[in-house]
Amino acid sequence: MAAIHSDRRVNEELACVDARKWQYAVLATLEEFGPASQAELSARTGICRSDMVSVVSELADQGLVERAPDPADRRRNVVTPTRSGRRQLLKLDKLLARVEDEVLAQLTPTQREQLTRLLVTLVDHHGRQGEV
């Protein structure tokens, strides 16, 4: 129930600024790992390749990313965040931090840290399973 509530609140708040979770995931991944192909973004975010095409197109249409031919393999594109994309990511980071504070309001700072450690452990475990 907590996950459902959190997911609903995240979606509601992102919708208020005309954004979606997948768009955030792509921008955050580009910020963390740098420019990447759509296939690399798909692998890093868990967004299927066909959906990734749509997400990157939406972001490009909004001026938040640029696509350019990969110099190493001109058959694929490299996706790079724009200055506007970086600003949007900062805006979304702040928005999601407020939602997190709301959702986790009943937990002490120590409990929040413990929850984060436990969730990271689960994500790491399941992430490794998905790579096998």
Under the banding of pLDDT at 50, 70 and 90, the label for residue 126 is confident
| Ramachandran bin of 4, using left for φ above 0, alpha for ψ from -120 to 50, beta for the remaining angles | alpha
Instruction: Let me know if residue 114 belongs to a domain.
Output: no
What's the CATH number where 66 sits?
1.10.10.10
Q: What percent of the chain has pLDDT over 70?
A: 96
Question: Does any domain span residue 127?
Answer: no
**Which structural domain, as residue segments, surrounds residue 66?**
2-107
Residue 28 lies in a domain: yes
20 within domain boundaries: yes
pLDDT digits (tens, 9 = 90+) for 47-96: 999 999 999 999 999 999 999 998 888 888 899 999 999 999 999 999 99
Angle in degrees, CA 24, 129, 119, rounded to 5: 55
CA end-to-end distance (rounded Å), the chain: 30
The total of other beta-carbon atoms located within 10 Å of residue 47's CB is 21
pTM of the entire predicted model: 0.87
Query: Helices then strands (H, E): number in the chain?
Result: 6, 3
Domain count, the chain: 1
**The pLDDT of residue 132 is above 70:** no
Q: Judge whether 113 lies within some domain.
A: no
User: Residue 30 falls within a domain, yes or no?
Assistant: yes
Residue 131 lies in a domain: no
